[in-house]
Amino acid sequence: MIEDEGMAHEHRTFHNPPPATPADVRAALDRDDLPSALDAMVGCALYGDGDWKESQELYLALLDHDDHQVQRLAATCLGHLARVYRRLDEQRVVAALRRAGERPHVSGTAGDALDDIESFLNAAGRSGPVTVDALVTLWADSGYQPRPARSHAELEAFAAEVRGRFGLELPADYRRFLTLTDGGQYDHALFGGIGPEDPVLARCEDLRTGPVLVIGGSGNLDAYVLQPGGRADIVTFWDLSEVSESFASFTGLLEKVLTGG
């Protein structure tokens, strides 16, 4: 048994673990490499290979691991799965988290995970499609921190300039996004904002996008574009007319970028 130092393994702000698989987690635990195992647990939940069931079974088993840090993080990772995949064997997972939460050292993370399940599974089932608010929460919890939102006055000035330069009204969901965050980095993706950091309008001017409102992108490969009628597209960075994927709303594009769904 590895001695519990009484300090939870923290990823949300300072450290972004790389993608991992359940096999990576098991291998690290088998060689008693606890730091690598903890990193792999989070990397598997947030950026894994898409097999949520295998990951779920891993974390359910790790709720009963000898090490307290592993137990705590296993609960957290079940919450991550709810946010990323919006699918779990809910009755089994909820029951396991409630049992684990009876241990004082797991009660906090188990409670947070149960809240995540309520928000991202049950609430989604009651309320319909995922919301911008839920996606920004997922972003903030991932370790990639979105920037703070700008003021209402700055948002209105930005909307007016977009209207004048591009002939576009900001869609309601993109407006909501800008009341929550001024964009930022998520993995390889970057969303611009009002500014002064990564301002959308200055970037459009630098790239000479013409009538195309580019609000972000992924490296020099893809660009994220708002279209009339509230639609949004992922287009080829070097040819903004070449659409890779089209969405009925900005929310759909944001969901695709953050979850791959």
Instruction: State percent of the chain over pLDDT 70.
Output: 90
SS3 assignment, position 185 = strand
pLDDT on residue 11: 37
Give the Cα separation of 86 and 121 in Å (integer). Answer: 6
State how far the alpha carbon of 89 is from the alpha carbons of 55, 60, 81, in Å.
Answer: 12, 11, 11
Give the Cα separation of 135 and 83 in Å (integer). Answer: 8
CB 148 within 8 A of CB 125: no
Residue 193 is which amino acid?
A: G
pLDDT on residue 162: 96
Q: Is the pLDDT of residue 9 over 80?
A: no
Indicate the pLDDT class of residue 261, thresholds 50, 70 and 90. low
Mean pLDDT of the 45-57 span: 85
Runs of H (alpha helix) within 32-103? 34-47, 52-62, 68-85, 90-100
Closest CA to 44 of 70, 13, 6, 14: 70
pLDDT on residue 4: 37
pLDDT on residue 200: 96
Q: DSSP readout, 202-239?
A: HHHHHHT-TT-EEEEEETTTEEEEE-GGG-EEEEETTE
Average pLDDT over the chain reads 87
Q: Is the pLDDT of residue 145 over 50?
A: yes
The crossing angle, in degrees rounded to 10, of helices 68-85 and 90-100 is 150
Q: Is the pLDDT of residue 155 over 80?
A: yes
* Cβ neighbours around 228 below 10 Å, total: 11
Closest CA to 110 of 99, 125, 126: 99
Sheet arrangement for strand 232-236: 184-186, 189-191, 213-218, 222-226, 232-236, 239-247
pTM, full prediction: 0.56
pLDDT on residue 87: 83
Indicate the pLDDT class of residue 5, thresholds 50, 70 and 90. very low
Between 116-120, 200-204, 224-228, 230-234, the lowest mean confidence (pLDDT) is in 116-120
pLDDT on residue 115: 87
